[in-house]
Amino acid sequence: MSAATPHGSPLGFHSYDPGIMAGSLVLWGTPYPVGSGKVDLGGGTAQLLVHNVCSVFDVFTVPNSFDPAHALGIFGAIINSMRIEWSGVTRSVPGFSDSTNKFRGDFFECSATIAVSATTPRETGHGFHFESDPATTHTDFAQFGTEHNGVFF
Q: What is the pLDDT of residues 66-116, one digit of tens each?
A: 777 888 878 888 899 999 999 999 999 999 999 888 889 999 999 999 999
Residues 6 or more apart whose Cβ sits within 8 Å of residue 150: 102
Domain residues for 129? 2-152
Structure pTM?
0.76
Q: 142 pLDDT exceeds 80? A: yes
CA atoms of 153 and 147, how far apart (whole Å): 9
Per-residue confidence (pLDDT) for residue 69, from 0 to 100: 80
pLDDT band at 3 (very low <50, low <70, confident <90, very high): very low
* Tally of structural domains, the chain: 1
Q: In b/e form, how buried is each residue of 128-152, taking b as 16+ CB within 10 angstroms?
A: bbbebeeeeeeeeebebbeeeeeee
